[in-house]
Every structure is written in C-alpha cells, then in structure tokens.
C-alpha cells in the first residue's frame, strides 16, 4: 500500500473512531445481561465455527487457556454449553453450544439488527447505498 495522504489518515482515524463507538453502542443492546462480552463472544464463536476444544476457543478468543476453562465452566453451569469427549483424543473435550445458547444469540442478533436498522433509517438514500456497498469491505477488515 502506498504512503497515506492526509485525507487517507483522516479517513482511517474516522473509521477507527466510528467503528469503536458503534461497537460500544451495539454492546449495550444485549439480551442476556448476565453474560459478559467474553462469554457472548465464545457462544458466537461456537455458533460460527461449530464444536471446538477449549484450546481452540482460547486461541480464537485471544485469552489464556486457564481463563477459557473458567469461561466454559461458567457457561456450562448456565446451561449454555456442553462438554463431550473428543472423538480422536480421549484426553480432551469438545465444547458445543446448547439450544438455549442459540436462542440467546438469535435474539441478540435480532435486537442488534433492529437497533442498527433504526439508525439507518436516519440516512438518506445515497448514504444508505454507500453504506450497503461498504458493508462487505468492513466485513473483510473485521475478519483479516
């Protein structure tokens, strides 16, 4: 990528600031107040990626394995995950989400989508079209 101009640096700064503020506001649209953002993140990872070992979850969520063990224990106590023996390595377990967790995630997504759609109603047609066109690029950035 070539050296950034002042306009590019301003755009990067606005993108960072906007993404952080929007993410913070989205976090306040929680369905289940008893779950921490980290616990919701683990449930989201399980929903996206399927069953995983605690070590895999720790890597994906960028936490230390002992912390993930505690998170899994709390989620299991709440009936949101279950542990099963690993099919190939009996020394390990595989964690999967329960139906209750999937219901919480679905309601959370529904509520956050509705909130964001409500905000989008304040945009004019041209702004909405530009935002829709930018959505795949933002998705790519978020997943690099």
User: What is the per-residue DSSP string for 27-67?
Assistant: HTT-S-TTS-HHHHHHHHHHHHH-SB-HHHHHHHHT--HHH
**Is the entire prediction scored with pTM above 0.75?**
yes
β-pair partners for 97: 81
Q: What is the pLDDT of residues 110-134, one digit of tens each?
A: 999 999 999 999 999 999 999 999 9
Q: What are phi and psi of 77, to 5 degrees?
A: -60, -35
Counting beta carbons within 10 angstroms of the beta carbon of residue 119, is it exposed (0 to 12), middle (13 to 18) or buried (19 or more)?
A: exposed
Fold of 31-105: Arc Repressor Mutant, subunit A (1.10.10)
- In the chain, where the domains are located: 31-105
Q: What is the pLDDT of residues 25-58, one digit of tens each?
A: 988 887 777 898 899 999 999 999 999 999 999 9
Counting beta carbons within 10 angstroms of the beta carbon of residue 143, is it exposed (0 to 12), middle (13 to 18) or buried (19 or more)?
A: exposed
């Amino acid at each position: 990528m070539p050296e950034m101009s002042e306009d590019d640096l301003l755009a990067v700064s606005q993108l960072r600031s906007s993404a952080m503020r929007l993410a913070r506001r989205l976090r306040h649209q929680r369905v289940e107040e008893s779950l921490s953002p980290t616990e919701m993140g683990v449930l989201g990872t399980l929903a996206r990626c399927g069953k995983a070992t605690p070590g895999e979850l720790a890597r994906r969520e960028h936490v230390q394995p002992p912390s993930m063990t505690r998170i899994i224990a709390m989620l299991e106590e709440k009936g949101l995950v279950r542990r099963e023996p690993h099919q190939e390595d009996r020394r390990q377990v595989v964690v999967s989400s329960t139906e209750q967790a999937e219901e919480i995630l679905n309601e959370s997504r529904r509520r956050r989508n509705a909130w964001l759609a409500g905000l989008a109603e304040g945009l004019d047609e041209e702004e909405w079209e530009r935002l829709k066109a930018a959505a795949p690029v933002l998705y790519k950035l978020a997943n690099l």
